[in-house]
Structure 1
Amino acid sequence: MTVRIVFDQSLTVKSIDTQTAFAPYAACKSGGTNFDSLIGLRMIQGWSREVKSRLKGASSCTHLMELLGPMATTAYQTLADVRINTAPELDKDGRPVKIDSCWAYVAHGDVVQHLWPNFYRPSGNRTP
């Protein structure tokens, strides 16, 4: 089973193709037919929930659908160099939205201290 997704820098799905070379039934080979419903969807927070909503039940192959969850994370990591060299998205207070969004971007961590020293908070003063 393979799933190939073409996406842009905003993580928007531009095309998606599936293939099932071996399966228990001939019908399984067309289980990715409805994956085109994901074109235009962004691989961001809520990706897995939206995939399950669009491809639930008998509308697609469950096994192909299960491959899609980790693809959003993989796509995001693929663009790491682009993100590092692009100005960060800021909240209404001018604070990068990435701060405290994951382990690496914790406000009292080395990454924040290096990238955004004005927003660095010593350990114990974690920002929400």
Structure 2
Amino acid sequence: MRERLHTRSIEFNGYRRDDGLWDIEAELRDLRHYDTLTPGKGLLPAGQPVHHMAITLTLNDEFVVQDVSAKMLSTPFGMCMEIQDSLKPLVGARIGYGWRKAISERIGGVQSCTHLRELLVNMATAALQTIPIWHVQQRKKQGLPPSDERPHYLGQCHSWRLDGPVVLQHHPRFHQPQTTPPQQETP
């Protein structure tokens, strides 16, 4: 037997905008499945969110942040609302290598909220699932050849390893056959 006590749900969505930009949205909810006494709100009935936060990150095709906003829909303390606009220093940062560092440097520690930072880190994956994949699909629909650029996901997981059969089949020009060191003879 076990009793469900806590649920954290996180949802990411990617949108293409009419102006050529992209919105990546993230939403987090923490629910307790029992009545909880909280220091900031008193009694929180079962099923009411302790945390409910949302972020919209607007990016261009180069993954540079054009705008960012957060909504603090439910927080344990009223003062959490004070940092609702704390993400603006991320405007101009680029999702890619160094994204975590940019988050930490620009809105780390008490400058923002740990939950918002957690969402931002993972919004990078949602952006990479949204923007380049859409462009690849558009090229395919138009009958254009694949881009000459190496896809960002190659070499980043077991299936997409550079010496593997998936890369050989789908991206043969980036395939790097495994080289085995010569075996030494034993006396």
- Could you tell me the TM-score, scaled by structure 1's length? 0.76
Alignment of 1:25-64 (within 5 A): 25-64=77-116
Q: Going by fraction, where is strand more abundant, 1 or 2?
A: 2
RMSD value, Cα? 2.4
Count residues in correspondence.
119
In structure 2, do the counterparts of structure 1 residues 62 and 82 end up closer, same or farther at CA, with 3 Å as the change threshold?
same
Give yes or no for the alignment of 1:15 onto 2:67.
Answer: yes
> Which structure is larger by alpha-carbon Rg, 1 or 2?
2
Deviations 1:33-79 (CA, angstroms, capped at 9, x unpaired): 22111011111012112101111222112221221110001110112
Does the residue aligned with 1:102 lie in a helix, a strand or coil?
coil
Runs of at least 5 residues in structure 2 that lack an aligned partner in the other structure: 1-52, 140-145, 181-187
Match of residue 135 from structure 2: 82
Give yes or no for the alignment of 1:68 onto 2:120.
Answer: yes
Runs of at least 5 residues in structure 1 that lack an aligned partner in the other structure: 90-95
Conserved? CA contact 1:99–1:107, under 8 Å:
no
Deviations 1:65-112 (CA, angstroms, capped at 9, x unpaired): 2211100011101122314645143xxxxxx47585312432222332
Q: Going by fraction, where is helix more abundant, 1 or 2?
A: 1
